[in-house]
Amino acid sequence: MGDSAAEGAGVPAGSGRLAGGAVPRIAVAVVTMGNRPAEIDALLTSVARQGAPPARIVIVGNGCPLPEFAERLSLPGEVTTVETDENLGCPGGRNVALARLREFGDTDVVVELDDDGLLVGTDVLRRVGELFAADDRLGIVGFRIADENGETQQRHVPRVGASDPLRGGYVTGFLGGGHALRSAMLDEVGDWPAEFFFAHEETDLAWRAADAGWRILYAPELLLQHPKTSPARHAVYFRVNARNRVWLARRRLPLPLIPVHLGVWVLLTLARNRSLGGLRAWFGGFLEGVRRPAGERRPMRWRTVGRLTRLGRPPVI
């Protein structure tokens, strides 16, 4: 797919068709570790209040048992729960949900939501359907994430710099907490990188989608309320973050860009991190990423590098 003039304007473009002009069939997928019972109840209640409810809801207990949700919360559509024997990480748990949806074979778009998020509006899923119906090369839609005070953290804005979180448009990445994926896109480029466990799995998927010619849209009108958090709250954050950064570069970047990308992030880490323990864990993870197999190597094309750069985020930052 060639670059569209609409990419700089933030306006979806395309034939406006999906399966012969039909409204896309939407499913919602939620992965939980079972440690946020009140939050997931509130999230699912907000899904049930949607004016255009999903046809299916899949809830994955990531290494944990699940209670009965459907009758207690009056959930719409078909509700399926899946329990895994162990915690597969965020991308691994999402892949379980995607696999179950493929078994049903009746989903065009999958909306994936963090279990501690909340859909504030009642027209979110309707708007998701409109966006995908209007652009047949739209592969991913990213939601805006804001806390209970309406503040969006800078790390949740998919652009470089102090960008306005209310400005939508085509971008190079998306937020893991709330997003929608076209099933046809996943069938073409593959699912989440389960071996990442968490950290940078969204970038891996976004780069594969962009390289295959799919568009990624940031739609700030799609609001997911989410508590303000720091990724460093996870004990293994620094190690896994660095390891996955190296794996991401080794898997997806042309060879000349790998040392540039990693060099930039080494400098940024040294400048930002004041914790000696954090730096030690980060560089330990960096070496782990160098030494351990990174999985498939499918580097993006140079024209994709140019496209990502024109969209405001070259794949070295």
Q: Which of 229, 244, 272 is at the close of a domain?
A: 229
Whether residues 83 and 216 share a domain: the answer is yes
Last residue of a domain, which of 196, 229, 262?
Answer: 229
| Domain boundary residue, one of 201, 229, 257 | 229
Residue 316 lies in a domain: no
Same domain, 113 and 214: yes
Residues 222 and 178: their CA atoms lie apart, in Å, by 9
Are 197 and 260 found together in one domain?
no
Residue-level pLDDT at 160: 79
Averaged in consecutive runs of 10 residues, what is the pLDDT profile of the chain (317 residues)?
38 44 90 95 97 97 93 91 97 98 97 97 97 97 93 82 86 96 98 96 98 98 88 72 97 98 95 88 96 96 97 92
Q: What's the Cα-to-Cα distance from 179 to each of 55, 210, 238, rounded to whole Å?
A: 17, 16, 25
Q: For residues 179 and 175, what is the distance between their CA atoms, to the nearest angstrom?
A: 7
Please report the pLDDT score of residue 157 as a whole number: 85
Nearest to 93 by CA among 61, 138, 46: 61
d(CA 58, CA 40): 13
Domain residue limits at 172: 5-229
Q: What is the pLDDT of residue 235?
A: 53
d(CA 134, CA 12): 7
Matching residue, tokens 């960008």: 163
Same domain, 193 and 52: yes
Cα-Cα-Cα-Cα dihedral sign, residues 171, 177, 181, 187:
positive
pLDDT at residue 16 in the model: 38
Dmax over Cα atoms in the chain, in whole Å?
Answer: 58
Where would I find the H helices in the chain?
Answer: 37-48, 70-73, 89-104, 124-134, 183-189, 201-211, 237-252, 257-272, 276-291, 302-310
Pair 158, 23 in one domain = yes
Q: What is the pLDDT of residue 203?
A: 97
Residues 128 and 63 in one domain: yes
Residue 317 lies in a domain: no
Gap between the Cα atoms of 70 and 53, Å rounded: 14
Number of domains in the chain: 2
Same domain, 53 and 200: yes
> In what helix (H) or strand (E) does residue 181 lie, and over which residues does it extend?
strand 178-182
Could you give phi then psi for residue 50, rounded to 5 degrees? -65, 135
* Residue 238: C-alpha distances to residues 155, 170, 232, 241 (Å): 16, 30, 7, 5
The pLDDT of residue 162 is 62
Assign 90 to helix, strand or coil: helix
pTM of the full structure: 0.91
- The closest of 124, 150, 134, 138 to 51, measured between CA atoms, is 124
